[in-house]
């Protein structure tokens, strides 16, 4: 019975910081690992800190150690939900705010994963209850599914951003009806518990040989279920249709996740710098502005950097014309 004394307050809706749970699903060779690192590196431009990479794929992430900077966390079997949670919690305690997990599919069908755990539970209950397999099958899901729910709940409540990679395989479904059997093509679907797939903030599908280019639409019913691009993200993807997932996309996602206040703060930085450059007429002021620009460069959205650079170039030319000599501080755009 509800407590009549409870009070439910209201307040104006303001979008605050929202940790990202981004999923990448694809078969071997589709570009999952490389794309995940590109996304995380772009997110790092906004969020800062280190990228932590939990690697269940026999150190495959180290193939890209010369291309990206990240903290490598080897993760070998067993792959139970409890083990995944332990690995993630340890990195969060170290201060991780961006975690890549490649692959989360082992939690489902790897050694010690949910499917193997379920099989062991079936055997245990058959022996304990002296019953047939069909009677033990459904109750045997209790412990592994409970552990998965605990893992999922913990991840969604952490103040941490995740890029979760899933292996995918081409699946079919056997449909029967009206006296005939039909094979229905589902397309490429992630090897994972559906609970994880549905809880993700957004998810992209990489088809065989995609080279990191996400599939935004599909004719296959299963693939359509695995593509999740809410309205707030759709423009980020459709505007770069045909392009591989890259750092700029990761930056855009992270800026959205930072919330309205953070976005307004970044816009203020750009506008204040641009306005200050517009009124700059002497070398000393220009040098001060260049120092401020370099200090704020990582906070400036990539799309706005050309605006600030152009304002700096115009101010520099103005100072050269006014003083007859170039300013001592030369822009170092990075």
Burial class (CB in 10 A: 0-12, 13-18, 19+), 182: exposed
Which pLDDT score is estimated for 334?
Answer: 44
**Pairing status of strand 180-190 against strand 161-177:** antiparallel
Q: Which residue's structure tokens are 């790092």?
A: 44
Per-position DSSP letters for 225-268, written without gaps between them:
HH-B--HHHHHHHHTTTTSPP-HHHHHHHHHHHH-HHHHHHHHH
pLDDT category at 263 given cuts 50, 70, 90 is: low
Q: So what's the pLDDT on residue 330? A: 46
Separation of CA 225 from chain center: 18
- Which domains are present in the chain? 21-258 (3.40.50), 261-323 (no CATH)
126-178 pLDDT tens trace? 999 999 999 999 999 999 999 999 999 999 999 999 999 999 999 888 877 77
DSSP state, 191? S
Pair type for strands 98-102 and 180-190:
unpaired
Q: What is the pLDDT of residues 239-258, one digit of tens each?
A: 778 899 999 999 989 988 88
Classify strands 71-74 and 21-26 as parallel, antiparallel or unpaired: unpaired
Contact 200/21 with Cβ under 8 angstroms?
A: yes
DSSP character string of 196-230? HHHH-SEEEE--TT-TTPPB---SSHHHHHH-B--
Task: For residues 116-133, give the mean pLDDT.
Answer: 96
Higher local confidence (pLDDT), 333 or 52: 52
Neighbours of 32 (CB within 10 A): 27
**Which residue has 């995918």 as its token pair?**
168
Written as six digits, the tokens of 8 are: 């439910």
Sign of the Cα pseudo-torsion (164, 78, 89, 33, in order)? negative
How far lies 272's CA from each of 53, 278, 297, in Å? Answer: 37, 10, 13
Is residue 201 within 8 A of residue 223, CB to CB? The reply is no
What is the DSSP pairing of strand 202-205 with strand 51-55?
unpaired
State the Cα–Cα distance between residues 37 and 61, nearest whole angstrom: 9
DSSP state of 49: S
Backbone angles phi, psi at 248, to 5 degrees: -65, -40
Percent of the chain clearing pLDDT 70 (strictly above): 93
Q: Residues for the chain: how many in total?
A: 334
pLDDT band, very low/low/confident/very high, at 333 (cuts 50, 70, 90): very low
Q: What CA–CA distance (Å, rounded) separates 126 from 271?
A: 69
Q: Is 274 within 8 Å of 311 (Cβ atoms)?
A: yes
Phi-psi region of 209 (alpha: psi -120 to 50; beta: other; left: phi over 0): left
- Between CA 284 and CA 263 the distance in angstroms is 30
């Amino acid at each position: 019975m509800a407590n009549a004394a409870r009070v439910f307050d209201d307040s104006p809706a303001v979008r605050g910081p929202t940790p990202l749970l981004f999923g990448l699903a694809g078969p071997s060779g589709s570009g999952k690992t490389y794309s995940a690192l590109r996304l995380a590196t772009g997110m790092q431009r906004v969020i800062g800190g280190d990228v932590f990479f939990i690697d269940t794929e026999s150190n495959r992430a180290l193939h890209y150690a010369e291309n990206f900077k990240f903290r490598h966390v080897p993760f070998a079997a067993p792959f139970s939900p409890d083990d995944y949670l332990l690995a993630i919690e340890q990195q969060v305690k170290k201060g991780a705010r961006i975690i890549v997990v490649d692959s989360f599919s082992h939690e489902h069908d790897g050694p010690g994963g949910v499917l193997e755990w379920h099989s062991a539970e079936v055997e245990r209950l058959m022996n304990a209850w002296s019953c047939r397999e069909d009677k033990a099958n459904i109750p045997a899901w209790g412990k592994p599914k409970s552990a998965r729910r605990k893992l999922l709940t913990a991840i969604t409540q952490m103040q941490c951003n995740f890029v979760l990679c899933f292996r995918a395989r081409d699946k079919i479904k056997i449909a029967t009806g009206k006296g005939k059997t039909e094979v229905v093509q589902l397309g490429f679907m992630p090897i994972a518990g559906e609970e994880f797939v549905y809880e993700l903030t957004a998810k992209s599908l990489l088809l065989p040989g995609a080279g990191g280019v996400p599939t935004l639409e599909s004719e296959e019913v299963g693939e359509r279920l695995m593509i999740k691009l809410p309205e707030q993200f759709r423009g980020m993807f459709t505007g770069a249709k045909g392009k591989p997932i890259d750092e700029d996309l990761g930056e855009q996602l992270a800026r959205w996740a930072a919330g309205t206040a953070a976005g307004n703060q970044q816009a203020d930085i750009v506008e204040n710098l641009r306005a200050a450059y517009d009124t700059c007429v002497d070398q000393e002021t220009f040098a001060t502005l260049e120092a401020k620009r370099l200090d704020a460069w990582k906070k400036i959205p990539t799309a706005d950097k050309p605006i600030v650079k152009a304002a700096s170039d115009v101010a520099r030319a103005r100072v050269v014309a006014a003083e007859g000599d170039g300013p001592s501080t030369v822009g170092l755009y990075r």
